[in-house]
């Protein structure tokens, strides 16, 4: 049993109506309605001085959803759950608003509702407080009034209305255009093949910290199947019973490269390379202004031949064919993955867009690096169902790994000693520009430096230093012992060290004095 209010909530969300008391009755009326009155600032009641008093406030854009994901029941797909998305193509909002309704909807109508919900939030972030004159006694909560304030007319829907002679009112901005989708028809679509039971695409991602509040040692889980249904993930230690690990409740965008991707510059825009990509048909990838990309938009992970994930971003997305995209104007090697770029990363490499659809495993820290048995499949089915797949995998907890240092330098002293220095990077809270030095994300500051026989990837390690500051002196005696005399260049691998993770990723460079 549920209350009438709970039963009506999905209908109110999808068909945009509200209820208010009027003359002792409960009146249901659509949100899209013509203005009942037109007022100017001078018509409003003033608490002091001349002219009417009012207060307008506007919510922060970053608090608005950038994506609305609507889950509904699709009668054309055997009454299975389906999901559609509406995305803003500009602005700084990145949050995802998830709406789930137990209603049978056509896909076209569902897309229209999602779009209306998205822009309803944009319009309704503006609120108004004022006192209406006695001439507005006939107005009820829910009525729309046009207010001409500061030279322009704006429609507001009354949300609260007092009964005093000077009627204190609260209102939110409204716009008939938000609900225009209801004049359209359902989107036609070709018949689809019967759905396959199981999870079409599933990925474990051992990634750097994506947010400061993430669990650093836990891998991320991404899944895609059509039609979408939630995915259950289970894990077990060797020989043990499986236990619930996590539930993937939203579909991720998972694709693969259709052309090799070569290394490019890190720390600045890569305007030469492009990512050629295949994704499931119907999936949309959007362009974004470069400033929004710098603020965190359009992030993905690409599995490179080393087994590491390169985190990259894109500003331009061009649809080449159904399910085929070209991503350009790239930021490469983000979140400390600049060492992981493939040379090249080949055709077929997995590509996962990093959104709020990803969930983290519940794997405990004690299980880091331990091989675990994993199973995943449709939520609600038994784990021995043929729709479940499995693998045995171990994860290093890359979120704990220190970033490679940067800006290695080599200076020769008058004594013939070589003085090396570098700059520490951080994996936590390192973005604010006003910081003189980024925070230390590890227990103590420590580095491990290998002196290499040459610049090649397989060069032998001649000597290792362990230091607690971002500098050391490679003495003339060291040079004589390692190379037979003074040197003018030095190949090194510099790691920051974590007490939990060990050596972090290396800054590999050949430095010249």
Distance CA 98, CA 230 (A): 14
Report which secondary-structure segment, H or E, holds 281: none
Peptide bond between residue 186 and the one before it cis (omega within 30 degrees of 0): no
Parallel, antiparallel or unpaired: strands 144-149 and 37-40? parallel
- Which two structure tokens, joined as six digits, stand for 447? 């580095």
Give the pLDDT of residue 49: 52
Distance CA 163, CA 22 (A): 12
Distance CA 447, CA 194 (A): 56
Residue reference for tokens 């490019």: 264
* Range list of H helices, 179-306: 290-294
C-beta pairs of 371-374 under 8 Å, 24+ apart in sequence: 371/238, 372/235, 372/236, 372/237, 372/238, 373/235, 373/236, 373/237, 373/238, 373/242, 374/204, 374/233, 374/234, 374/235, 374/245
Backbone angles phi, psi at 389, to 5 degrees: -120, 165
Give the pLDDT of residue 478: 95
What letter would DSSP give residue 266? B
Report which secondary-structure segment, H or E, holds 265: none
Q: How distant is the alpha carbon of residue 447 from its chain centre? A: 32
What letter would DSSP give residue 195? P
Distances (CA, A) of 185 to 109, 110, 503, 512: 7, 11, 59, 68
Give the pLDDT of residue 184: 40
Distances (CA, A) of 139 to 20, 31, 163, 164, 288: 12, 15, 10, 12, 43
Give the pLDDT of residue 435: 76
Distance CA 34, CA 162 (A): 22
Are 359 and 246 contacting, i.e. CB atoms less than 8 angstroms apart?
yes
Distance CA 264, CA 304 (A): 14
Report which secondary-structure segment, H or E, holds 435: none
Nearest alpha-carbon partner for 158 in 123, 128, 117 = 128
pLDDT (tens, 9 = 90+) of the chain, 513 residues, equals 678 778 888 888 888 888 877 777 888 888 888 888 888 888 888 765 555 678 888 888 777 888 888 898 888 777 888 888 888 777 666 678 888 888 888 888 888 888 888 888 888 888 888 888 888 888 888 889 988 877 678 889 898 888 776 788 899 898 888 876 654 445 555 555 454 567 889 999 999 999 878 999 999 999 999 888 899 999 999 788 999 999 999 999 999 999 999 999 998 999 999 999 999 988 999 999 999 999 999 999 999 999 999 999 999 999 999 999 999 999 999 999 999 999 999 999 999 999 999 999 999 999 999 999 999 999 988 888 899 999 999 999 999 999 999 999 999 999 999 999 999 999 887 777 777 788 888 889 999 999 999 887 788 999 999 999 999 999 999 999 999 999 999 999 999 999 999 999 999 999 998
- Which two structure tokens, joined as six digits, stand for 137? 């006694």
Give the pLDDT of residue 423: 93
Determine the 3-state secondary structure of 382 from DSSP. Answer: coil
Distance CA 231, CA 356 (A): 15
- Which two structure tokens, joined as six digits, stand for 435? 């910081």
Give the pLDDT of residue 20: 78
Beta bridge partners of 319: 325
Are 223 and 205 contacting, i.e. CB atoms less than 8 angstroms apart?
no
Nearest alpha-carbon partner for 83 in 74, 96, 70, 95 = 70
The radius of gyration of the chain from alpha carbons, rounded to an integer in Å, stands at 29
Q: Is 381 exposed, middle or buried (0-12, 13-18, 19+ CB in 10 A)?
A: middle
Q: Is 338 exposed, middle or buried (0-12, 13-18, 19+ CB in 10 A)?
A: buried
Distance CA 16, CA 29 (A): 9
Distance CA 55, CA 459 (A): 69
Nearest alpha-carbon partner for 369 in 257, 219, 244, 489 = 219
**Polymer length in residues for the chain:** 513
Give the pLDDT of residue 15: 82
Distance CA 145, CA 35 (A): 5
Residue reference for tokens 């290093």: 396
Give the pLDDT of residue 185: 47
Distance CA 287, CA 281 (A): 18
């Amino acid at each position: 049993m549920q209350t009438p209010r709970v039963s009506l909530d999905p209908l109110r969300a999808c068909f945009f109506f509200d209820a208010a008391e009027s003359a002792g009755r409960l009146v249901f009326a659509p949100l899209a309605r013509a203005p009942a009155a037109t007022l100017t600032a001078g018509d409003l009641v003033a608490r002091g001085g001349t002219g009417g008093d009012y207060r307008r406030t506007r919510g922060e854009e970053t608090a608005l959803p950038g994506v609305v994901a609507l889950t509904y029941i699709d009668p054309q797909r055997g009454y299975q759950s389906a999901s559609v998305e509406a995305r803003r193509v500009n602005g700084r909002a990145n949050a995802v608003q998830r709406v789930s309704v137990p209603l049978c909807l056509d896909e076209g109508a569902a897309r229209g509702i999602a779009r209306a919900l998205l822009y309803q939030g944009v319009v309704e972030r503006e609120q108004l407080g004022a006192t209406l004159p006695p001439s507005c006694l006939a107005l009820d909560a829910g009525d729309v009034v046009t207010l001409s304030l500061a030279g322009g007319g704006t429609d507001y829907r009354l949300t609260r209305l007092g009964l005093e002679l000077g009627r204190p009112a609260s209102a939110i901005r409204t716009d008939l255009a938000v609900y225009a989708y209801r004049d359209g028809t359902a989107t036609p679509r070709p018949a689809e093949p019967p759905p396959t039971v199981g999870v079409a695409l599933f990925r474990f991602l051992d990634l750097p910290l994506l947010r400061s509040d993430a669990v650093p040692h836990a891998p991320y889980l991404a899944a895609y199947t059509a039609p979408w249904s939630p995915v259950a993930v289970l894990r077990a230690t060797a020989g043990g019973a499986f236990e619930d690990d996590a539930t993937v409740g939203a579909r991720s965008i998972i694709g693969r490269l259709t052309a090799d991707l070569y290394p490019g510059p890190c720390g600045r825009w890569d305007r030469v390379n492009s990512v050629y990509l295949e994704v499931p048909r119907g999936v949309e990838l959007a362009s974004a202004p470069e400033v929004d990309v710098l603020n965190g938009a359009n992030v993905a992970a690409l599995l490179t031949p080393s087994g590491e994930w390169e985190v990259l971003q894109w500003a331009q997305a061009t649809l080449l064919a159904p399910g085929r995209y070209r991503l350009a104007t790239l930021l490469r090697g983000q979140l400390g993955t600049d060492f992981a770029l493939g040379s090249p990363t080949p055709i077929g490499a997995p590509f996962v867009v990093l959104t709020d659809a990803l969930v983290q495993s519940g794997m405990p820290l004690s299980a880091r690096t331990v091989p675990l048995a994993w199973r995943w499949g449709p939520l609600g089915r038994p784990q021995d169902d043929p729709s479940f797949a499995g693998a045995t995998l171990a994860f290093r907890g890359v979120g704990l790994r220190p970033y490679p240092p940067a800006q290695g330098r080599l200076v020769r002293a008058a004594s013939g000693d070589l003085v090396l220095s570098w700059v520490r990077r951080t994996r936590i809270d390192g973005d604010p520009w006003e910081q003189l030095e980024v925070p230390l994300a590890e227990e103590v500051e420590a580095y491990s430096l290998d002196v290499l026989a040459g610049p090649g990837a397989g060069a032998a390690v001649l000597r290792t230093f362990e230091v607690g500051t971002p500098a050391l002196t490679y003495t003339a005696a060291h040079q004589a012992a390692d190379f037979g005399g003074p040197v003018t260049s030095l190949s090194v691998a510099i790691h920051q060290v974590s007490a939990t993770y060990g050596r972090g990723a290396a800054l590999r460079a050949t430095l010249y004095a």
